[in-house]
Amino acid sequence: MCNMLARYTKKGLLHNRGVLAIIIVSLPVVFLILMALSRCFLRRQRRGRARKSKNIFNFTSFKDSLGEKEIDETRRNGDLPYFDLGTIAAATNNFSFDNKLGQCGFGPVYKGVLLNGKEIAVKRLSNSSSQGLQEFKNEIVLIAKLQILGCCVEGEEKMLIYEFLPNKSLDFIIFDDSKRSLLDWKKRMLYLHHDSRLRVIHRDLKVSNVLLDDAMNLKISDFDMARIFGGDQIEGDTRRVVGTYGYMSPKYAMHGHFSMKFDVNINNV
């Protein structure tokens, strides 16, 4: 009886050792397989991200009142010139601090000079910006319908290219009694609301967003928060209140209701 018990015990130990050996040999193999699969998955993810960021118009998650089809049409119709990153980097002296004009909610703004001598202003989306891809796309669609020189989207870089306006913004001269009478920015607002082929509600129209060219003509900027109205629409609602609170109407700030009167309210402020 004791001999049989010893035999079974020995067999059990040998069996357990065999199982343990198989587990020890298998673990590194399983680990290597998992590592290889993880690497392949990460590589695919990176390629997907690179492909998406290479062309902003391939993003399928973008949904707004115009839709993705309208963005594609904007580009196909030639309304939106495209600049490569090398051209913009060369124009701005590799985004030199000396070329920096200022900072906005979107990111830093740089002055640049293209090879043909044309002066441009470049808004470069910052990683720390409070605004993101949605606002970037919104501004591209709206400005392409109004006036813009083009855009640049390469890798993580997203930039809007504008005409350079040397006389800064309206807030630099609006309090000068001798100059303010020469400027009529209400006409520009009227153009957005009535005369443009699109009815645009800016939603953040303030003196620092009204720029001046070399002939002191006024040009409204920063359309990332703007909304397009179609047909006879004159008002709308939003769940996301955006803009500068000091310039907002109480109705918009509290309930998200906006209309053409909203920009007028900002003008009066």
- Contact partners, residue 38, CB within 8 Å, separation at least 6: none
Q: Which two tokens stand for residue 255?
A: 């309930």
Each residue of 137-182: pLDDT tens digit? 766 666 655 566 777 888 778 887 877 877 666 666 666 666 666 5
Determine the Cα–Cα distance for residues 131 and 125; give it in Å rounded to an integer: 8
Write out 81-141 in H/E/C secondary structure: CECCHHHHHHHCCCCCHHHEEEECCCCEEEEEECCCCCEEEEEECCCCCCCCHHHHHHHHH
Give the CATH number of domain 166-269: 1.10.510.10
Residue numbers annotated as active site = 204
What percentage of the chain exceeds 70 in pLDDT?
Answer: 31
Mean pLDDT computed over 223-240: 53
Per-residue pLDDT at 92 exceeds 90: yes
pTM, two decimal places:
0.44
Phi, psi (5° rounding) for residue 66? -90, -40
Nearest to 66 by CA among 57, 205, 151: 57
Nearest to 263 by CA among 197, 193, 199, 211: 193
Give me the residue spans of the domains in the chain: 19-53, 55-164, 166-269
Mean pLDDT computed over 231-255: 56
Each residue of 131-144: pLDDT tens digit? 566 667 766 666 65
Contact call for residues 85 and 157 (beta carbons, < 8 A)? yes
Class of domain 55-164: alpha beta
Per-residue pLDDT at 221 exceeds 70: no
Contact call for residues 221 and 211 (beta carbons, < 8 A)? yes
